[in-house]
Amino acid sequence: MEEINNVEVVPCTESDYLKPFRVHYNQVSSVSVLIFNTTSHCFILVKQFRPAVYMSEWERIKTQTPQSTEKAEKEAAEAPAQEGQATSEDDSSSQWPPASVGVTYELCAGLVDKPQLSLEEIARQEVLEECGYDVPVSKLKRITSYRSGVGVTGSKQTMFYAEVSDDNCVGAGGGEPCEGELIEVVKVPLHEAMTFAYNERIPKTMGVIFSFIWFHNNMSPKYKISTNV
């Protein structure tokens, strides 16, 4: 790696893999939060419709052979996460897959778009807006940070852990409709967490999988829970 010394940013004129495009916003960094409710012993996740995931599935389905499409549709119909499945009367299902294929389970998360706030303060706001829990900044524990989307955004993500109780629940969450967020708050019981993490039929981000395992390794003894890996 030592040979890379003089870096300049020049127009991207030719590449077999990335075609030039302009991104009109800066996604410098983001935060995500693993929320554990100590009253109900549940993890609090958000379930979101993601247009990019939907388009990715649409691309995949339309390039598949009829046999594999059938298999994928059968799998989708059986998957516990696939609610809102189009019925057989829905003519559009032959053109567009059901919205459910674009739904993913994710950690509560948000962009770092307020320079005057600390990462912890931004994480606190996201927990309140998306999940309805009012948790003091002091209860946010930093888990780690990493690079995400190294091929596209390269942004730095910082992950936190927040313990909440039913007493901290002050609203329904669901995000800010004016910001285009349509979020469903879902609970995953602690004793189901590891099965959930490794169930590939449940569409989720790596942040969910990693953070459940982090909890299993670092927090489970505190809650005297035996979870099967």
- Residues 72 to 131: which contact a copy of itself by CB under 8 A? 83-84, 86, 92, 96-100, 102-104, 106, 111, 115
C-beta of 156: minimal distance to a copy of itself in Å?
7
**Site for a copy of itself (CB under 8 A): which residue of 56, 71, 114, 118?**
56
Three-state SS string over 111-133 comes to: ECCCCCCCHHHHHHHHHHHHHCE
For the segment 147-176, give every residue that binds a copy of itself (CB under 8 A). 147-157
Residue 215 class from Cβ within 10 Å (0-12 exposed, 13-18 middle, 19+ buried)? buried
C-beta of 20: minimal distance to a copy of itself in Å?
8
**Site for a copy of itself (CB under 8 A): which residue of 72, 121, 141, 184?**
184
**Site for a copy of itself (CB under 8 A): which residue of 43, 131, 160, 205?**
205
Which letter, b or e, does each residue of 132-166 get, where b requires 16 or more Cβ atoms within 10 Å of its Cβ?
bbebeeebbeebeeeebeeeebebbbbbbbbbbee
Instruction: Say whether residue 224 binds a copy of itself (CB under 8 A).
Output: no
Distance of CA 85 to the CA centre of its chain: 21
122 neighbors 110 (Cβ within 8 angstroms): yes
CA angle at 107 for the pair 102 and 111, rounded to the nearest 5°:
90
Instruction: Say whether residue 221 binds a copy of itself (CB under 8 A).
Output: no
Task: Compare residues 168 and 197 and give the one whose CB is closer to a copy of itself.
Answer: 197
E strand or H helix at 141: strand 140-148
Sole residue written with tokens 């996740």:
45
**Site for a copy of itself (CB under 8 A): which residue of 39, 118, 165, 218?**
218
Task: Compare residues 200 and 224 and give the one whose CB is closer to a copy of itself.
Answer: 200
Task: Compare residues 74 and 142 and give the one whose CB is closer to a copy of itself.
Answer: 142
C-beta of 167: minimal distance to a copy of itself in Å?
27
The sign of the CA dihedral 63, 65, 66, 70 is negative
**Site for a copy of itself (CB under 8 A): which residue of 38, 40, 53, 69?**
53
C-beta of 124: minimal distance to a copy of itself in Å?
20
Q: How many of the chain's residues bind a copy of itself (CB under 8 A)?
A: 88
DSSP state of 84: S
**Site for a copy of itself (CB under 8 A): which residue of 38, 145, 195, 220?**
145
**Which three-class secondary structure state does DSSP give residue 212?**
helix
